[in-house]
Amino acid sequence: MNRTATTVTAVTATFVVVAGVLAGTSAQAEPKVTVKDVKAAFHEVEAISEDVNQISVRIKGTQDEIDDLDEEVAAQQAQYEDQREELSAAIVQQQMDQPLGPTVNLLGSEDPEEFLDGLGAVQALNTTRTEALESFGKVSRELSNRRAQLKDRKADLLRDKKATATRQKAMKAKYAKAKADLAELTAAQQASFDSGSTNLDFEVDASGRAKKAVDFALAQLGEPYVWGGVGPNGWDCSGLTMKAWAAAGVTLPRVVGPQYGAVRHISMSELQPGDLVFYSSMSHIGMYIGNGRVVHAPRPGRSVEITSLSGFDKAGRVG
């Protein structure tokens, strides 16, 4: 082999080695998923889930308002039509004696807004029916206002339903990513991440309403986590605590943040069985049962379980 060929071969070999080293260095430089990363990912999923719960509460309230408004509009529509018929019959007779011209046609309108637009002209030509016309005008205005309110609330409902669909889509995408990150952890890391248990290995020292709430929560051990779950066969974190305290005769809001707002805030050192514990982000909630343990509904793919206080840094006492 001549000198030129030898030089080319050496240079090529050196390039291959350097490229391999660089490739290996690049691969090693890629950040690995940590338990902390996975926890953060699932916390983000929980936060979105609580957003969806809050919107769902608002949707229910709006739907209740719409149902009430539907009934009010129907009742006022019936009253409008009854008064219109009575007033029309009375004015028809007067029309024979003193013609009102085209304004009398307003009384045949089923549209209260159209009637209100021409009310002044009718009153001016029909002074003998002023009281009846004013009453009819009041009913027309009330009906018009209720129709406007109903239209607005239906628009609010549609907006919230669209927001729910958007948030649910984001939640599912985040959850898929969180699961993928979890799968990248080692077996030991996964075991430390999912360290909860469905076995109670100590006696809970609780009494009164707190005991009823704790007993209810513990009775759900092993039940699956379900997004938006409020039982009886599936739970999310705030659904479990809400229903547990409902079993003790106490009404709590549906969502984590409002539940925190509804309890008396205490320090973590004051915890007693039945107290509620929260993540500072208000993305998760559980119930303290003593011995440094918490019963909670952790996340999709898991079930109601007993875990440590790790991650919980705010506390509140019911009542």
DSSP-assigned states of every residue in 209-257: HHHHHHHHHHHTTTPBB-TT-BSSS-B-HHHHHHHHHHTTT----SSHH
Per-residue pLDDT at 4:
47
Residue numbers in the chain where pLDDT is lower than 70: 1-31, 91-129
Residues 214 and 167 in one domain: no
Tally the domains of the chain.
2
What's the distance, CA 238 to chain centroid? 11
Per-residue pLDDT at 136:
84
Per-residue pLDDT at 33:
87
Residues 240 and 280 in one domain: yes
pTM of this structure: 0.72
DSSP characters for 51-74? HHHHHHHHHHHHHHHHHHHHHHHH
Residues 168 and 277 in one domain: no
Residues 247 and 297 in one domain: yes
Residues 157 and 78 in one domain: yes
The H or E element that residue 278 is part of is strand 276-278
pLDDT tens readout for residues 4-39 = 444 444 444 444 444 444 444 444 445 688 988 998
Cis peptide before 232 (omega within 30 of 0): yes
Closest CA to 290 of 219, 203, 222: 203
Residues 119 and 216 in one domain: no
- Residue 12, domain member (yes or no): no
- Residue 11, domain member (yes or no): no
What's the distance, CA 32 to chain centroid? 33
Residues 203 and 167 in one domain: no
What's the distance, CA 309 to chain centroid? 26
Residues 177 and 234 in one domain: no
Residues 75 and 179 in one domain: yes
Range(s) of the domain holding residue 134:
35-183
- Residue 152, domain member (yes or no): yes
pLDDT tens readout for residues 179-206 = 999 999 998 888 877 778 999 999 999 9
- Residue 26, domain member (yes or no): no
Strand order, beta sheet including 293-296 = 264-266, 314-317, 276-278, 285-290, 293-296, 305-308
